[in-house]
Amino acid sequence: MDERLAQIIEASQLHDVERHIEGVRRAAEMQAFNQWGFAAYCTLFVLGAFLLVAWSLWPKRRTLTLRGWRDEDDVGSGTGARGGVAGETASAWRLKRVAPGFVGGVLLAILCAMSQQLSIDRNRGFIEDQQRRMNADLRRAMDRARQEYLREHPPTGERWNPELEREVKAAEDAARDNIVQSHYLYIPKGNSLRYLSLGNSSIAADYLWITSLQYVTSPFQQGHKFDFLHRFYAEILELDPHWVDIYVNMGKVLSALDPDRYRTERFLDQCITRNPGDFHLPMEAGRLFVVPTVRRKLNQEYSLKASEYFEQASKRLNLPATDLAVLEDLIGRLKREAGMHGAAAEQLWKIVNDHDVPKNLRENSSREWLQAESLVRADLFQQLVNGYKARRGKLPQDLTMALMDFLGQPNARGPAWLKEGLSGAKPLDAYGLPLLYDATTGEVASHGVRALNSTRASRVIDSLIASVYSEPGREFPRNMAELTQHIHRAFPTVDRAPLPVVEALGEDLNAEKSPLGGPWNYDPATGKITLPPECNPRELFRNADMTLDGRVPAYFKGAAGGQ
Amino acid sequence: MSVLIIALNTFREAVRDKILYVLTLFALLLILISRAVGWVSYGGELKITTDMGLLAIWLFGAFVAIFIGTGMIYKEIDKRTLYTILSKPIDRWQFVVGKYAGLLLTIYVNLALLSLILFGYLWLMGAPIGISILQAVALTFCEMMVVTAIAIFFSSASTPVLSAIFTTTLFAMGQLTKWMVDLGAIVRSSSPWVGKVMHGFYLLMPNLHNFNVRQEAVNAAGTAGALAIPASQMMNAMVYGIAYTAALLLAAILLFRRRNF
């Protein structure tokens, strides 16, 4: 091997070697102690047991009585009150004396055996043995993987660098996975258990479930559990396909242990297929994807999946009626997050107009509906702008121009509200605010949605400012640029930032620009942001309250899911 | 009338057998320990408790039938008490049927007791006791009817040890006869006659899995009014049990009549 390469490999192994030597030294010390301790321990017990048994079985003994020393046999010669049953008394007396000795000896011997068993288990027990063999295989495989990787990708520098170390570690992990898989104890196949249990596959499933719990909690290879968990769970599914409660718990366990959400989803899909009438499993599958991530695109995909699963759950017959409205509201929100604004608006509008639903839920749904409907309108006008640009090669000056151009087309089709009463007036979103249009970029957005986002973002920024202020000796940030620098120092990458911060500031974590488009109205003296009047929640949700009272604004007519 | 007398006498004799109490104690322990097994589980505790309870009832019935039933007739022959009985105006078939009825009565009384204890235990634990659980217990009773008949059949023809071996083997095979059908389907493509022979064996063997609805019962227990299997299928299984029992008893009587003591 190349000498330079060998030196680098040796350097990478050095820290492992030092740790290994220390471990070997300690093990040697314990082993020496164990050997001598074992010998002394064993000797004491054997000696004690031998003495007890010997005392018990000693053939003749002299007993001191009032008439002097007597041999044991003299008791049976008929003297004294016991004369009539002398023979029985003697043997009974001997039995009474012998029995404790025997019992004591037996106990000592058993204690000795049990204590030695514990010692054996520490050095040669099943788990210890298995762990030792696997560690040896792991070390060999990982060393081999490290050498092969470095041979194929020789490092360019002289020094061992962290990037290379990460790549080598990835190669080692891949080798490690194969070894771990081959070393776990035998997991019986579903059919074999079915036969072994004489057709009681329900009990066999119970056994496998408890075994899988032991597998998760055992110290053997802790932290790398999910590979075999999937095998366990697949076998349980084969044995007892209708044990829904446990499959819900399995989903929870897998979601906690397995970083691959999609693999857990595939398992839950199999459970759902076997139990098409139950709502618990699609609910659990939906919950897998409800928790958002910091990646907006991934969030959209997750929200879509979650909404699909929750929709499945909502159609199951055994879903309690009280949960249906809550679930439908959640589906509406998820569809909005997934970008399905029209479907979300329709879903939420149904809840708003369902007077059997509790009022607080209708209130929440109406506010969500405003957001969804506003996005529907913004999307529609975006299409009109794009259509205008496609036909005329330039962007319209305003949205009315795009609308007129669209309405002038021979086969123009659109919602009723598009054609009624909007000529001469600015198109409004569901909040009653004019849609925002940037004539230079052609982007259409809902003013109301941006105002709502500004309200939420301002709360996050206030808490960030408070965190800056809480540091000793620090004043309020002088401006938003300084706050942005502080945020970038605290969270160098977007992965490290909390989700509310990413949602408020965007993936670039820029606090300088507000969602409404301009800079924040920030006062460095007080450290507070002042929001424009349209961000006032009472004004913002006025239309939501009107719809609840049955007073629908005129421009809602023909809205998605509206009248 | 003679059958009834022999049955009652057999019942009295069987309840004095120590092994019955050992087995009953074992079954009770299994039912009570089932809760402890549920404690180590994350979820599904009540299902595990119900599973183990039903298993205890099933196993207990089978063990009683095997351990007591296989030596029943042979004991009479060995102790020469059979001559006293047969010297009376009693037909041999009455003796066999009486013995069977007595043993079955013993098993049923004990199973009923265990079932009541199980239901009480489940009720205390808060586990659902639906009609499906009753179905499972009823079909277990049917299964014991067949297993007892198997034990009496072998007992009338052989020594207790051999009878126990044959009965246990047939009991185990009866749970796994579906495997024969699967195996037959696999080999049919290469050897059709083997597949047919296996299917023939499957039809001749006592298919005790017909009475095993414990899994369906436990899964359906949570839904009020849900049956483990439809009533028509349950009727089929019971009629199958009665028919097979009758066949075994007739065969036992035939063997017993030809024996010289």
Question: What was the pLDDT predicted at A421?
Answer: 43
Question: What was the pLDDT predicted at A259?
Answer: 80
Question: What was the pLDDT predicted at B223?
Answer: 75
CB contact under 8 A, A199 and B42: no
B-chain CB neighbours of A240 within 8 Å are: 215, 219
Q: Which residue of B has its CA nearest to A207?
A: B48
Which pLDDT band, with edges at 50, 70 and 90, does A3 fall under? low
Residue from A189, A195, A196, A206 whose CB has the most chain B CBs within 10 Å, to mutate: A206
DSSP characters for A422-465? -TTS--B-TTSPBPEEETTTTEEE-HHHHHHHHHHHHHHHHHHH
B 52-111 → A contacts, CB under 8 A = 52, 55, 58
Q: Average model confidence (pLDDT) for chain A?
A: 77
Q: What percent of chain B has pLDDT over 70?
A: 100
Which of A203, A206, A249 lies nearest to residue B42, judging by beta carbons?
A249
Minimum distance, in Å, between the CA of residue B79 and any CA atom of chain A: 36
Question: What was the pLDDT predicted at A123?
Answer: 61
Minimum distance, in Å, between the CA of residue A249 and any CA atom of chain B: 7
Mean pLDDT confidence for A314-320: 85
Which of A200, A203, A243 lies nearest to residue B219, judging by beta carbons?
A243
Say yes or no: A199 contacts chain B, CB-CB below 8 A.
Answer: yes
Q: Which residue of A has its CA nearest to B43?
A: A246
Tally C-beta pairs within 8 A across A and B: 58
Q: Please tell me the least confidently modeled range out of A10-19, A102-111, A441-450, B99-108.
A: A10-19
Give the type of residue at A290. V
Residue A43 CB neighbours (<10 A): 10
The pTM for the full model equals: 0.72
Q: Please tell me the least confidently modeled range out of A214-228, A279-293, A294-308, A398-412.
A: A214-228
**Lookup result for tokens 């296996």:** B198
Judged against a pLDDT cut of 60, whether residue A74 lies above it is answered with: no
Q: Which residue of B has its CA nearest to A252?
A: B42
Question: What was the pLDDT predicted at A48?
Answer: 74
Q: What percent of chain A has pLDDT over 70?
A: 70
Cα separation, B102 vs B13, whole angstroms: 9
Minimum distance, in Å, between the CA of residue B176 and any CA atom of chain A: 6
Tokens matching residue A503: 């949602």
Question: What was the pLDDT predicted at B176?
Answer: 87
B 33-52 → A contacts, CB under 8 A = 37, 40-44, 47-48, 51-52
Judged against a pLDDT cut of 70, whether residue A546 lies above it is answered with: yes
Mean pLDDT confidence for A444-454: 91
Judged against a pLDDT cut of 50, whether residue A78 lies above it is answered with: no
Mean pLDDT confidence for B84-98: 85
Say yes or no: A536 contacts chain B, CB-CB below 8 A.
Answer: no
User: For B144-179, what is each residue's pLDDT tens digit?
Assistant: 999 999 999 998 888 889 999 999 999 999 998 877
Q: Please tell me the least confidently modeled range out of A81-90, A406-415, B220-229.
A: A81-90
Task: Give the CA distances from residue A125 to residues A128, A354, A454, in Å, rounded to whole numbers and listed in that order.
Answer: 5, 66, 63
User: For A95-138, what is each residue's pLDDT tens digit?
Assistant: 555 566 666 666 777 777 777 776 666 666 566 666 667 777 77
Cα separation, A405 vs A425, whole angstroms: 15
Judged against a pLDDT cut of 60, whether residue A212 lies above it is answered with: yes
Mean pLDDT confidence for A29-46: 66
Which pLDDT band, with edges at 50, 70 and 90, does A65 fall under? low
Question: What was the pLDDT predicted at A86?
Answer: 46
Give the type of residue at B157. A
Residue B239 CB neighbours (<10 A): 11
Which pLDDT band, with edges at 50, 70 and 90, does A196 fall under? confident
Judged against a pLDDT cut of 50, whether residue A505 lies above it is answered with: yes
User: For B188-208, what is each residue's pLDDT tens digit?
Assistant: 777 778 878 888 888 888 889
Question: What was the pLDDT predicted at A81?
Answer: 43
B-chain CB neighbours of A202 within 8 Å are: 51, 214-215, 218
> Is the Cβ–Cβ distance between A203 and A197 less than 8 Å?
yes
Which of A202, A209, A253 lies nearest to residue B215, judging by beta carbons?
A202
Minimum distance, in Å, between the CA of residue A195 and any CA atom of chain B: 7
Judged against a pLDDT cut of 80, whether residue A209 lies above it is answered with: yes
Counting Cα atoms < 13 Å in the Cβ hemisphere of A34 gives 13
Judged against a pLDDT cut of 80, whether residue A311 lies above it is answered with: yes
Q: Please tell me the least confidently modeled range out of A212-226, A286-300, A350-364.
A: A212-226
